């Protein structure tokens, strides 16, 4: 890349969020999505190789990725890495670090800007792959891709801001300045529920800060994960800076986490896996050059509080979307609805009646509000929680489901207290547990009664209660009088604490700092 091209990124216009999905009635969307889905279907069944040091690498071990709405439909066959391939990728990234870390930050940022433009030009097709591989509705898939674009554009600008040496002033006759360097090889482990956005965001953050990446996507989203190979190869990212290593966690997960070649680990997924990574990464061997940094976002048991006075029609719509959007498979999804006693008997029946109107079926049909869950294991686990809901509480509504595919019923149940398992354990599916609190104070106490602290919401017209919630509803992302899902890059940085994560905020002004070490230089005359 020329010096002029790198310099041009310094004059990027201010960041603006990509437009979210315009709606299923939008003429462009109604024409573009079916065409993109048909185009994707024409490409199904291909074999996808690993990507190491700028080269495709095939293996004899293959995994089928299937459509959760129709498991007989194979989306693609993905080569699986073993320890040998994992070591090759780590070695390639370690070698690339020697040059990539010293590339001008503006030049690194330019790769992200080019990548964002490429994704933007192919937005509907990238979204269509998610409709089929992940069972995401049109809006959910589209917005996942636009969030990935936002991460690329925002982190490019953030690196330009942070990549400029900061003058710290003088002391006596000495001058001082401050700058950042990358931590080292980044291992990025991404989830399937936001298969493009989260993987893209974590990889982009590592790459733009100078850390070559070894990328291990979830086994349920391997074809979408491979999109990053296509994107970073097309924009000309140097060899070894980005490596794609799909493979079973049992075979290569611990191996890569334990590797002394890794300097930073970015993970989004379950609490159990996140805590395992934190524990293993904390063991520092004699051959490890630095303490590993963990950037970790885990799960949630998110609650929405309904106070004594609020907009009930808006609350019905937003609660349903928070609980059942993308089948409740968002870490930010509402799984606990905490309703104060005085409005309970009026509001809950209205919510249940609205839920009964929601259609369930394949995500490629925009008339279906809810689709399949991600795989057979999820189907089985969520079904067990639905049975538990019947034992611990009372089922108010359990929907019918299609016969074929990994579907579970949309389920609403009541009768839970903080002592209930359904009020404490993350379900990661379309199961809403309703809790009846005597007043606002108890509702707030119950909202804070889990190990998690990711998202929450409160619907209220009481300004004093809203301000109390700001101070005492202890979650990473709090929403007042709106749904508890749908955070946007920059304006709503996302991430929690307690057992929801280590306090990092993806898409926020300090996120890139977790991938770098600060350095201070003092110069005498």
Task: Give 224-248 pLDDT, tens digit per residue.
Answer: 999 999 999 999 999 999 999 999 9
Cα(131)–Cα(118) distance, integer angstroms: 20
Q: In what order do the strands lie in the sheet with 213-216?
A: 55-57, 50-52, 242-244, 213-216, 185-189, 262-268, 293-297
- Helix intervals (H) in 366-408: 376-392
Domain with CATH 3.40.605.10 in the chain: 3-7+25-298+503-523
Distances (CA, A) of 488 to 146, 158, 161, 197: 10, 16, 20, 11
Beta bridge partners of 183: none
Residues in the chain: 525
CATH no. of 302-487: 3.40.309.10
Cβ proximity of 75 and 224 under 8 Å: no
- Give just the sign of the alpha carbon dihedral 226, 232, 234, 239: negative
Q: What is the pLDDT of residue 10?
A: 57
Catalytic residue among 331, 334, 414, 426: 331
Which residues are within 8 A (CB) of 522 and not within 5 positions of it... i.e. 6 or more apart?
174, 175, 176
Q: What is the pLDDT of residue 9?
A: 44
- Coil, helix or strand for 508? coil
Active site residue 334: no
Q: ∠ CA(518), CA(522), CA(525), 5° rounding?
A: 160
- Give just the sign of the alpha carbon dihedral 134, 136, 141, 144: negative
Per-residue pLDDT of the chain (525 residues; tens, 9 = 90+): 333 444 434 589 999 999 999 999 999 999 999 999 999 999 999 999 999 999 999 999 999 999 999 999 999 999 999 999 999 999 999 999 999 999 999 999 999 999 999 999 999 999 999 999 999 999 999 999 999 999 999 999 999 999 999 999 988 999 999 999 999 999 999 999 999 999 999 999 999 999 999 999 999 999 999 999 999 999 999 999 999 999 999 999 999 999 999 999 999 999 999 999 999 999 998 999 999 999 999 999 999 999 999 999 999 999 999 999 999 999 999 999 999 999 999 999 999 999 999 999 999 999 999 999 999 999 999 999 999 999 999 999 999 999 999 999 999 999 999 999 999 999 999 999 999 999 999 999 999 999 999 999 999 999 999 999 999 999 999 999 999 999 999 999 999 999 999 999 999 999 999 999 999 999 999
Domain with CATH 3.40.309.10 in the chain: 302-487
Q: What is the pLDDT of residue 11?
A: 80
> Which homologous superfamily does the CATH classification assign to the domain defined by 3-7+25-298+503-523?
Aldehyde Dehydrogenase; Chain A, domain 1 (3.40.605.10)
- Coil, helix or strand for 71? strand
In the chain, % helix, strand, coil (3-state, to 5) comes to 40, 20, 35
Catalytic residue among 158, 297, 414, 426: 297
Q: What is the pLDDT of residue 1?
A: 37
Cα(341)–Cα(339) distance, integer angstroms: 6
DSSP letter for 19, please.
P
Cα(124)–Cα(42) distance, integer angstroms: 15
Q: Phi and psi (nearest 5°) for 491? A: -85, -20
How are beta strands 455-459 and 302-306 bridged, if at all? parallel
Cα(71)–Cα(48) distance, integer angstroms: 19
């Amino acid at each position: 890349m020329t010096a002029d091209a790198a310099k041009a990124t310094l004059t990027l216009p201010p960041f603006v969020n990509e437009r979210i999905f315009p709606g299923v009635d939008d003429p462009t969307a109604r024409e573009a999505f079916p065409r993109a889905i048909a185009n994707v279907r024409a490409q199904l069944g291909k074999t996808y190789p690993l990507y190491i040091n700028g080269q495709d690498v095939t293996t004899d071990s293959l995994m089928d990725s299937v459509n959760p709405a129709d498991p007989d439909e194979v989306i693609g066959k993905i080569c699986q890495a073993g320890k040998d391939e994992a070591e090759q990728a780590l070695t390639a990234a370690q070698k690339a670090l020697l040059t990539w870390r010293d590339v001008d930050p503006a030049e690194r940022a330019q790769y992200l800007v080019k990548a964002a433009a490429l994704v933007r030009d192919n937005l509907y097709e990238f979204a269509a792959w998610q409709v089929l591989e992940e069972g995401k509705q049109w809006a959910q898939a589209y917005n996942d891709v636009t969030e990935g674009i936002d991460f690329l554009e925002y982190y490019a600008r953030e690196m330009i801001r942070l990549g400029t040496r900061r003058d710290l002033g003088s002391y006596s006759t000495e001058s001082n300045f401050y700058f950042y360097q990358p931590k080292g090889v980044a291992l990025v482990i991404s989830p399937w529920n936001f298969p493009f956005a989260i993987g893209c965001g974590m990889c982009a953050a590592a790459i733009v800060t100078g850390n070559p990446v070894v990328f291990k996507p979830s086994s349920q989203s391997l074809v979408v994960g491979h999109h990053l190979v296509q994107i970073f190869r097309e924009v000309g990212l140097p060899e070894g800076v980005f490596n794609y290593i799909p493979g079973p966690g049992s075979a290569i997960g611990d191996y890569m986490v334990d590797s002394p070649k890794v300097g930073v680990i970015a993970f989004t997924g379950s609490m159990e896996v996140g805590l395992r990574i934190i524990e293993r990464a904390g063991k520092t061997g004699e051959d490890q050059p630095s303490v590993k940094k963990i950037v970790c976002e885990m799960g949630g048991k998110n609650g929405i509080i309904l106070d004594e006075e609020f907009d009930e029609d808006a609350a019905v719509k937003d609660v349903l979307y928070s609980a059942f959007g993308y089948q409740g498979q968002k870490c930010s999804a509402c799984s606990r609805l905490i309703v104060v006693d005085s409005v309970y008997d009026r509001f809950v029946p209205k919510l249940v009646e609205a839920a009964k109107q929601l259609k369930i079926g394949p995500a490629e049909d925009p008339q279906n509000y809810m689709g399949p869950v991600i795989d057979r294991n999820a189907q089985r686990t969520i079904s067990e929680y639905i049975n538990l809901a019947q034992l611990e509480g009372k089922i108010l509504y359990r929907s019918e489901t299609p016969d074929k595919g990994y579907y579970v019923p949309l389920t609403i149940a009541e009768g839970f207290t903080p002592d209930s398992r359904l009020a404490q354990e993350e379900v990661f599916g379309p199961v809403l547990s309703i809790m009846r609190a005597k007043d606002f104070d108890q509702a707030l106490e119950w909202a804070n009664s889990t190990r998690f602290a990711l998202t929450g919401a409160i619907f209220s017209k009481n300004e004093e209660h809203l301000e109390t919630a700001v101070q005492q509803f202890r979650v990473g992302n709090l929403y007042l009088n709106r749904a508890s899902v749908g955070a946007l890059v920059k304006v709503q940085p996302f991430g929690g604490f307690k057992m929801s994560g280590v306090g990092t905020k993806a898409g926020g002004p300090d996120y890139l700092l977790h991938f770098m070490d600060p350095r201070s230089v003092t110069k005498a005359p």
